Amino acid sequence: MRAYSLFLSTLLIFIASNVSAAEDKNVELLASSCAACHGTRGHSVGGLPSLAGMDRLHIIEQMTQFSNGERPSTVMKHHASGYSANEIELLADFFSKQ
């Protein structure tokens, strides 16, 4: 019985860590579409702002305002509109932690 519950909890930990690994992969994929302009993992080498280390809430606000047109933009309306609120949060988490 004890071995069985040990097995179960090991299995649960295994599943949980795989789920978060899948989420990490997913957000890296999302973030890679920002790299062309904002640099790899948000480390910009051109004239555009670096997203790396940017405040999480600031990113969410800007993305929302680009998407609803509150903040005028050249290309960001187009980019921001393609993501769900959840994806924007994942991106903001990712870039703010770089």
Chain contacts with ligand HEC (rule: CB under 6 A) = 33-34, 36-38, 48-49, 51, 59, 62-63, 73-76, 79, 91
Question: Minimum distance between the CB of residue 6 and ligand HEC, rounded to whole angstroms?
Answer: 43
Question: Minimum distance between the CB of residue 87 and ligand HEC, rounded to whole angstroms?
Answer: 8
d(CA 50, CA 43): 5
d(CA 39, CA 43): 5
Distance set, CA 26 to CA 11, 13, 47, 91 (Å): 23, 20, 27, 10
Question: Minimum distance between the CB of residue 85 and ligand HEC, rounded to whole angstroms?
Answer: 13
Our CB check for ligand HEC shows the closer of 18 and 69 to be 69
Residue nearest to ligand HEC (CB): 34
How many Cα atoms within 13 Å fall on the side-chain side of residue 88?
19
Our CB check for ligand HEC shows the closer of 3 and 29 to be 29
Handedness of CA 65, 39, 27, 55 (dihedral sign): negative
Our CB check for ligand HEC shows the closer of 20 and 32 to be 32
